[in-house]
Amino acid sequence: MPNNLTEINIELIKLNYIFLKFGVDLIPNPPLTMQFTPNNQTDNSFNKILSKRFGSVFLLYLIIVSIALITRTALLLKSGSSFDWSFSNILGVFGIGFFYDTVMASYFCIPLVLYIWLMPNKWFKMHGHRFFLYAFFIPVIFLLLFNIISEWFFWDEFSTRYNFIAVDYLVYTTEVIGNIWESYPVIPIIIVILLISLGIFYLLKSTISSVLKSDMRFAKRTTVALVLLAVPMLSWLFVSNKGKEFSENQYAVELAGDGIYDFGAAFWNNELDYNKFYATIDQKKAFTIVNTLLSDSGTTAIPNNKELIRNVNQGTITKPYNVVLISVESLSASFLSSYGNTENLTPEMDSLAKKGILFTNLYASGTRTVRGLEALSLSIPPTPGQSIVKRPNNSDLFSLGNVLNANGYQTQYIYGGYSYFDNMKTFFSGNGYHVIDRDDIKNKKDIHYENIWGVADEDLFNLSLNTLDKNYKNGKPFFSQIMTVTNHRPFTYPDGRIDIPSKTNRQGAVKYTDYAIGKFIKDASTKPWFKNTIFIIVADHCASSAGKTELPVSSYHIPMIMYAPALMNPQIFNELTAQIDIVPTILGLLKLNYQSKFFGRDVFNHKTKTPWAFVSTYEKLGYYKNGDLLVLSPQKKVEQFKVMPNQDQIPEKVDEKLKEEAIAFYQTASYLYKNRQYSK
């Protein structure tokens, strides 16, 4: 011990110095024994803990909670004005956050506890044994530091800690890793993190090795190990990530969680059983409520307490129209000048809006593409957990594709990427659609540009034009849904198309997609099938669902334009519209008679005085009606908010009628899908 100061003290001071660089003081008032005083020989309990057999476990805990604190602080500062800077929120963010950091750290420590517990003293004290501990600490430190960067970028994209989206991304590693590689300087980031990790490890090396000098009998080791292992075991049984929901400010709620812990929670709760987690009513009553509401929408219900069936009679078809539905990736209404944007990002769509039907009050069902695809094919409220598109056994459902097939239509889903992503191919091919994707572009000269998500939108639309020409030659009416990909990070596209360089920002991607849509419509206008075709342009979801509340209604506001100059007169449609209403509205435009199980309404042919819409996350289920938002949450929680013109949400007393309607819709949708009754 040089200068009568233990190596442990020296390394602790070095560790504290490192974290001070990040604004975190592990030891705000270090005792005298931890100061560089040559003649001070007094030890302290803190040092004793680190020098004992399980001292490395405590050291690992300190590292984990300190890095988690740095992460939380950085994300808090990034939130800026969106965070409610009240004392209670700040206290909750760091107090509750520390609790979840501790829980997460307890899981991380399990392998180290087991290793130290079961390793015999003789082997544990061997000089070469230190390399086993080194081999554990180096990658753990690297992963924890890497997680800071990952959480930063995830927060930048979604304004939330890890959730089910991050879990989904584990499945599609090719696209996700490729997207990260194309969007960020991955190699420099990894090199910097590795160097910092090695630097921290070097300063901690002596402290890690010091535990090798301690003796502890197996019986005593067992007692300590069982106490340490009891923490994660009890946490597993009694702790959930719902404890972070202490505030009405959603940023505070997210920051009070721990990213890695939330990731694990999302992994284990990717599908939620409605009856187990949400408020319920009698199922017969639920069917009665839904049938009553939907029967008032131009349909006639067939009385049934176990199904949702209605006869839709719309007269006689004169000539079957074609439909081309363009579902645009991440297109918020706020990007279009038609909805108030002043950046002139969408001149083509704005021009089409003036010549067609512009929907000004349409809301997406969810926050991801799969939710949009679910709504645009199944017309069903979003059931809790994962989208039906991603679930097993999701074929032969009551879908738009199957209804159109039964009425003689050719139906296709055309995608610019590889359709295995997000389970699109399995879902659409199992529900009445012929799937066409990137693999169907046989001539590579037809690809002007591509990134990890797929080909450029103009190449997708060229593929679509060829497909629509073939449909026309077959002599049957067609329905083709085209799903774009360009408006997605890394926001790259061919040069020279627009005045914003590729890979600049989302605004550039939006403007390029707009360019591609305009070009597609112009090219289509020269085709013999154009005059008999209805074009529908609609977003799958918004670019961001972030807000001060869990379900900020404005963050679900999406655009839709119906364009058919030979068939429709220009108009602005201001009525509240749900994304699930689009399917029956399309069938209404086609004048098809069918027996319906859809939950949506034909917005042009109904008697509903007060329409409604559905908005959701994977666990929060919102029912929006007449300016009120009724929110259903796990643990059978029910809340109601008044949505103000400035989009603030003021808590109000729950209206029992609104509550029953919301429960009836969501409970019935979950019931029908779970019991395989939402089938063709």
Q: Which of 102-116, 157-171, 417-431 has the lowest mean pLDDT?
A: 157-171
Please report the pLDDT score of residue 23 as a whole number.
42
Cα–Cα distance between 208 and 188 in angstroms, integer? 28
Reduced to 3 DSSP states, what percent helix, strand and coil does the chain have, rounded to the nearest 5? 50, 15, 35
Q: Which of 271-285, 321-335, 575-589 has the lowest mean pLDDT?
A: 271-285
Q: Which residue has the tokens 């058919």?
A: 564
Please report the pLDDT score of residue 4 as a whole number.
42
What mean pLDDT value characterizes the chain?
Answer: 87
Q: What is the number of other CB atoms lying within 10 angstroms of the CB of residue 128?
A: 7
pLDDT at 303 over 80: no
- pLDDT, tens only, 243-283: 898 988 888 999 999 988 888 887 776 667 888 889 999 99
Please report the pLDDT score of residue 181 as a whole number.
77
pLDDT at 5 over 50: no
Identify the residue with better confidence: 27 or 288.
288
Please report the pLDDT score of residue 634 as a whole number.
84
- pLDDT, tens only, 189-243: 999 999 999 999 998 888 887 777 777 888 988 998 999 999 999 999 899 888 8
Cα–Cα distance between 74 and 61 in angstroms, integer? 20
pLDDT at 27 over 70: no
- pLDDT, tens only, 630-670: 999 988 999 999 999 888 899 999 999 999 999 999 999 99
- pLDDT, tens only, 486-509: 887 888 889 999 999 998 889 999
pLDDT at 12 over 60: no
pLDDT at 11 over 70: no
Q: Which residue has the tokens 């334009």?
A: 561
Please report the pLDDT score of residue 43 as a whole number.
47
pLDDT at 511 over 80: yes
The residue among 333, 361, 357, 358 whose CA lies nearest residue 346 is 333
DSSP symbols for 470-519: HHHHHTS-EEEEEE--SSSTT----TTSSSS-TTS-HHHHHHHHHHHHHH
Q: What is the number of other CB atoms lying within 10 angstroms of the CB of residue 57?
A: 26
Cα–Cα distance between 563 and 357 in angstroms, integer? 7
CA distances from 102 to 66, 137, 247, 269 (A): 10, 18, 21, 21
Q: In this structure, are residues 478 and 411 in contact, taking their beta carbons and an 8 Å threshold?
A: yes
Summarize the confidence of residues 66-89 as an average pLDDT: 91
Tokens of 41: 């020989």
Summarize the confidence of residues 286-310 as an average pLDDT: 78
Identify the residue with better confidence: 595 or 53.
595
Summarize the confidence of residues 671-676 as an average pLDDT: 92
Q: In this structure, are residues 463 and 395 in contact, taking their beta carbons and an 8 Å threshold?
A: no
Please report the pLDDT score of residue 503 as a whole number.
85
Instruction: Say if residue 490 is preceded by a cis peptide, omega within 30 of 0.
Output: yes
Q: Which of 306-320, 391-405, 442-456 has the lowest mean pLDDT?
A: 306-320
The residue among 388, 476, 397 whose CA lies nearest residue 431 is 397
Those residues with Cβ within 8 angstroms of residue 651's Cβ, 6 or more apart along the chain or in another chain: 248, 639, 640, 641
Identify the residue with better confidence: 452 or 640.
640
pLDDT at 578 over 90: yes
Confidence band (pLDDT; 50, 70, 90) for 155?
A: confident
Summarize the confidence of residues 296-316 as an average pLDDT: 73
Please report the pLDDT score of residue 32 as a whole number.
40
Q: In this structure, are residues 515 and 494 in contact, taking their beta carbons and an 8 Å threshold?
A: no
Q: Which of 254-268, 403-417, 529-543, 615-629 has the lowest mean pLDDT?
A: 254-268
Q: In this structure, are residues 592 and 405 in contact, taking their beta carbons and an 8 Å threshold?
A: no
Tokens of 236: 């597993």
Percent over 70 (pLDDT), the chain:
88
Ordered domains of the chain (ranges, CATH): 1-51 (no CATH), 55-268 (no CATH), 313-601 (3.40.720.10)
Summarize the confidence of residues 91-112 as an average pLDDT: 94
Percent over 90 (pLDDT), the chain:
58
Strands 454-455 and 478-483, how do they pair? unpaired
Strands 410-415 and 434-436, how do they pair? parallel
Summarize the confidence of residues 141-147 as an average pLDDT: 92
Q: In this structure, are residues 589 and 375 in contact, taking their beta carbons and an 8 Å threshold?
A: no
pLDDT at 20 over 50: no
Those residues with Cβ within 8 angstroms of residue 588's Cβ, 6 or more apart along the chain or in another chain: 298, 314, 602, 604, 605
Cα–Cα distance between 617 and 245 in angstroms, integer? 15
Rg (CA), the chain: 29
pLDDT at 9 over 60: no
Q: Which of 4-13, 142-151, 257-266, 558-567 has the lowest mean pLDDT?
A: 4-13
Q: What are φ and ψ of residue 57, in 5° steps?
A: -65, -45
Outline where 109-163 has alpha helix (H).
Answer: 110-118, 121-124, 130-158
Confidence band (pLDDT; 50, 70, 90) for 556?
A: very high
pLDDT at 600 over 80: yes
Those residues with Cβ within 8 angstroms of residue 343's Cβ, 6 or more apart along the chain or in another chain: 507
Please report the pLDDT score of residue 210 as a whole number.
77
